[in-house]
Chain A
Amino acid sequence: MTPAPCPRLFEVEAASDGRLTGLALGNFQRHMTACPACRREAQALAALDEALRAIPTRQLDELQTRREKTRLLAAFDRELVKPRPRWSAPWRLWPAPLAALVAGLFLFWRLRAPQPLPVHAASVVVRAGSAALWSEQSEGPLDQIRLERESLWLHVDHSSQKAGRVVVLLPDGELEDKGTTFTVSAEGGRTTRVAVQDGSVVLRLRGQLPVALGPGETWSPDPPPVASAGASAALAPLPSVTLSPLTHIASRPSSAEPVTSALAPDPALDFRAALATLDAGDNAGAAAAFENFLLKHPRDPRAEDAAYLRIIAFRRSGAEGSMKQAAQEYLRRFPAGFRRAEVQALAP
């Protein structure tokens, strides 16, 4: 008859594996001294463990051990002295998208950042007088501001690529910005005053030659009887406008002499005015302006350019005869001119 197994037999394994601790372990060890079944089980487990420990393994002799150690140390030494891995190719590339991301965020921030002044166009600041009658219209890069009455102070930021062209449409002509800051006034259907604080503008009035105005220069159609009083009256509604000193206000001569001679004796301004007229598409006006430049500044270094551009202006305006005549004049005046070859093709 086989004796019934001890109900605590499973605790032998638990004790062997460390699942019994403290009082439970002590209690079971006391039980085991009196329980032959549990003792036999414990001996069987111990024998199994001993058999495992007795499993033979291939041992290295001393020479093989030294070889293995040398191999290990040599490998570790190679790890120590080899250059640290530099950025692998993918890591070398990450600054590019990161820089693009930063640039994108910066642009986004710049575009979203509130402008310090009331902006009517991308980069045009307009401050109107209290009684000013004006409007604004933007078409692509062209920003047109129509002034009917009173005064506007304008500041154009040309550092921005969005500035484009800014033209002030006046009752009797137009004013094109070529610089940064200016004031323009109109009254009674005609332009009454243009004052440039910074940069330059080109004033094109109907029936008159274009006028280029530089920094600190002021244009008005009639000699102001009391310059300071007139200027103050015009500027009074513009609280934040900084105008040039009144001493800069120049009066237009009453003679038939071209406006530019009184206001812009500098040939550079005359040339810029003529060029602006050409750029504006007023080809006939540009041809006249360049002709005027050649008459006034025959020895100026830009005379050859003016003569050539006069030909171009005639060509654009479709005045074939005038163009050929202008080309002949160019060849006669500048026989070794820089654009001689081109002009010869245009001359008869």
Chain B
Amino acid sequence: MIARGVRSQPDACAVPYPSDPEIMNRLASGELGALGELYDRYHEPLRRFIARATSDAEDVDDLVHAAFLAAAKSASQYDGRASCRPWLIGIAVQLLRRRRQGFGRLLAVLSALSGSRSASVDPRPRLEARGEVERALGRISEPKRVTFLMAKVEGLSCEEIALALGVPIGTVWTRLHAARRELRQALEEGAEP
């Protein structure tokens, strides 16, 4: 049997890859699928950042969840920059700040009430497996830690960090310098017998 025609496969390259501003526009109009796309695109780096900033705390997933929900609610205020990542990290930093002020307890209660949270993991093995750098990172204050992670791990510019944190750029430089000094000091102390 001879096939008279060839059915062409859809060209993967022809599938439009929406830009972040396009996704945010759709999200602002209440499109549920847009949030799914945003999650697929950024949940890993966002989760990694929050995990490092919180020493992989129990409520990392809740914070990721809350960050995406907050992003969806404020999608109409998105400033149109090409990548959402700095913006999402900025939202996460705000949540971390609230968490430090007691928001974490609220999240924990809400999560417990919802009953749909993923199973918790025993943190002890993870704590034991922590390396020196992680321990040193956990010893510096959260504002410095977050600033340092944003700059050195997430690769954000100091201007982006200043914008996300709502602080002057000089404060970002100061925090970076202090965080680096404290980290190195902690590592040197840890290395001593």
Contact = CB atoms under 8 A, between A and B. Distances in A.
Interface of A: 13, 17-19, 44-45, 48-49, 51-58, 60, 64-65, 67-69, 71-73, 75-77, 79-80
Nearest to B33: A73
Interface of B: 30, 32, 35-36, 39-40, 43, 47-48, 51-52, 56, 60-61, 64-65, 68-69, 72-73, 116-118, 121, 126, 129, 131, 133-134, 137, 148-149, 151-153, 157-158, 173, 176-177, 180, 183-184, 187
A65 B68 CA distance: 14
Given A58-B51, A58-B60, A67-B118, 10 more contacts: A13-B180, A19-B158, A19-B173, A48-B187, A52-B148, A55-B52, A55-B134, A58-B126, A75-B65, A76-B35
A69 B133 CA distance: 31
14 contacts: A13-B180, A49-B153, A52-B148, A55-B134, A57-B47, A57-B52, A58-B51, A58-B56, A71-B116, A72-B35, A76-B32, A77-B32, A80-B30, A80-B32
| Secondary structure of the A contact surface, majority rule | helix
Nearest 9 Cβ contacts at the A-B interface:
A57-B51, A51-B133, A49-B152, A55-B134, A17-B176, A18-B158, A53-B153, A57-B48, A69-B39
B158 A55 contact: no
Contacts of B117: 71
A78 to B, nearest CB: 10
A55 B137 contact: yes
Contacts, number: 90
Contacts of B129: 56
Contacts of A17: 151, 158, 173, 176-177
A55 B53 CA distance: 11
A231 to B, nearest CB: 80
Contacts of A57: 47-48, 51-52, 56
Given A55-B131, A68-B61, A76-B35, A48 B69 contact: no
A55 B154 CA distance: 13
Given A17-B151, A55-B134, A68-B118, A75 B56 contact: no
A45 B32 CA distance: 43
Contact of A52 (B56, B72, B153): B153
A65 B65 CA distance: 11
B122 to A, nearest CB: 11
Contacts of A60: 47, 61, 118
Nearest to B181: A13
Nearest to A67: B118
Contacts of B61: 60, 68
B176 A69 contact: no
B51 A76 contact: no
Contacts of A76: 32, 35, 68-69, 72
